[in-house]
Chain A
Amino acid sequence: MKYLAGLLTITWKDITAEFRTKEMSTSMGIFALLVMVVFGFALRPGAEETVAVFPGFAWIGFFFAGLLGLSRSFVSEKMNGAMTGLMLAPVDRSVIYFGKVAGNLLFMFVVEAVSFPLYIVLFDVPAPQRPGSLALVAFLGTLGFVAVGTFLAALAANTRTSELLLPILLFPLAVPLVIAVVSMTRAALTGDFTDTASWWRMLVVYDAVFLVVPWLLFEYLLES
């Protein structure tokens, strides 16, 4: 119970800070939109091939926007020794990690919820056939991305070149997630779920592995 209270306190702190500065939501939101504008020029909206590649492009937009938020996640804590304050809090160290994951997850959901309908309209893609499944896919995909991303952001924040290091650490590790989430999104958009049981399994396994491994290793990152 104390664990959960600590976790929510950290998440709440991030939300409060975000409400005051509006740093992340504005930059992530605008970036997600701009990516789509660029893709809009590259592809013909409404064309058959655009519909076919749409799930991949949508997730590229979300992941790039998410990366912006993640890269700020721990760098902002370095200012004024805020990280030391967090580490001195009388809670288990992994609370910091999960608190940050919850905050980043929330920010990414907001960006996705706002930009996805826009993507659909801008690309003239048929409305999703299975919105419930789509929401579940978006949840599992974003959770996996944020779980591994928050951990790597903490790692990168301890280096001189954190903004350079985070993307090159994150994207190779996100490959299995991208493969699964794009296939599942395509299925949810078209309503054709044949042969997707294995992708569900892959998404769930990915999320589980990349929540457990950082949970075990997070302490080592902070001590250094």
Chain B
Amino acid sequence: MMVGAKSPSASRVFHASRRSRAPGTFWTAAMAPAMLTALYAIFVYAPDERVMGAVQKVFYFHVASAWNGILAFLVMFIASVGYLLSRRPGWDELAFASAEVGEVFTTVTLLTGPLWGKVAWNIWWDWDPRLTTTLVLWTVYGVYLVARHYAGTEVTPGQGDGQDASRAAVQAAVIGIIGFADIPILLMSIKWWRSVHPVLLQGAKMNIAPPMAWTLGISVAAFTLLYVGLLGLRLRLERARREVRRLLAAGLAGKGVGR
């Protein structure tokens, strides 16, 4: 396909994505000081843990990533429901973007956990309810992303190997919803399964020293900003893709690109 020949439309795509409301530069600017503050708090302000020393500092990354992994999952679920009800492509793009960013945060959670676990429990992994639930969360995200890749690529006679965008979106939304349904069932089990995982909140009381609690708060806030920022960048990319698809379709149909 001669995409290069349509340079005016290419610049139009660029500007279209520029004009979109998705947070980009602003969030990047807000994120940098937030992340630096979080790093300062983690490595300078927060005291070393009495028994484990510096290893315990991985906890601030671990909890902040875990929180964002769950937040992203919730956003994916809500966006999937939103898509099925309204059929607006924006919801579908939000679900996709959130799943991708959420998978990254969940990966960080799963990687930082064993670093701490090896020191605290002397094992990398334990089939604890929380660990199992996080692993299942990670696989559900993975399944969503893989299925998304294959969805809507059925070979139908006459249509060729068509990537039917709306069909892919419906299938992805369905997987997003049914995958979400799995997690509450697993969470039920946390109550009655023996657990070695530390509990942060007991009632309204935090189980850690106040400077550590402050550091955790700053780090969770910074990571949440990071989540929103990455989500925005990812959304902007999806919108640009949709615009390219539209322009290509319009170009192929011979209608010209102008509107």
Where the two chains meet, the residues of A that have a C-beta atom closer than 8 Å to any C-beta of B are 148, 151-152, 155, 158-161, 164-165, 168-169, 172-173, 175-176, 179, 198, 201-202, 205-206, 209-210, 213-214, 217, 220-221, 223-224
Contacts and interface: CB of A to CB of B under 8 A. Distances in A.
B155 A173 contact: no
Enumerate the 8 nearest inter-chain pairs by beta-carbon distance, A residue then B residue, closest first.
A172-B139, A224-B167, A198-B192, A224-B170, A176-B185, A159-B150, A160-B153, A161-B150
SS class of chain B's interface: helix, strand, loop or mixed?
helix
Interface of B: 84, 132, 136, 139-140, 142-143, 146-147, 150-155, 161, 164, 166-167, 170-171, 173-175, 177-179, 181-182, 185-186, 188-189, 192
Nearest to A159: B150
A205 B178 CA distance: 14
A202 B155 contact: no
B189 A176 contact: yes
Contacts of B186: 175-176
A206 B185 contact: yes
Contacts of A169: 143, 147, 175
A160 B150 contact: yes
A177 to B, nearest CB: 9
14 contacts: A152-B178, A155-B174, A165-B147, A172-B139, A172-B140, A175-B186, A176-B185, A205-B188, A213-B178, A220-B84, A221-B170, A221-B174, A224-B164, A224-B166
Given A213-B178, A221-B174, 5 more contacts: A155-B147, A161-B150, A165-B146, A173-B140, A213-B181
A165 to B, nearest CB: 6
Contacts of A159: 147, 150-154, 171
Nearest to A152: B178
Given A209-B181, A209-B185, A223 B170 contact: yes
A121 to B, nearest CB: 31
A210 B132 CA distance: 20
Contacts of A152: 178
Contacts of B136: 172, 175-176
B143 A168 contact: yes
Nearest to B173: A220
Contacts of A158: 151-152, 154, 167, 171
Given A173-B179, A202-B188, A224 B171 contact: yes
B177 A160 contact: no
B189 A198 contact: yes
A217 B175 CA distance: 10
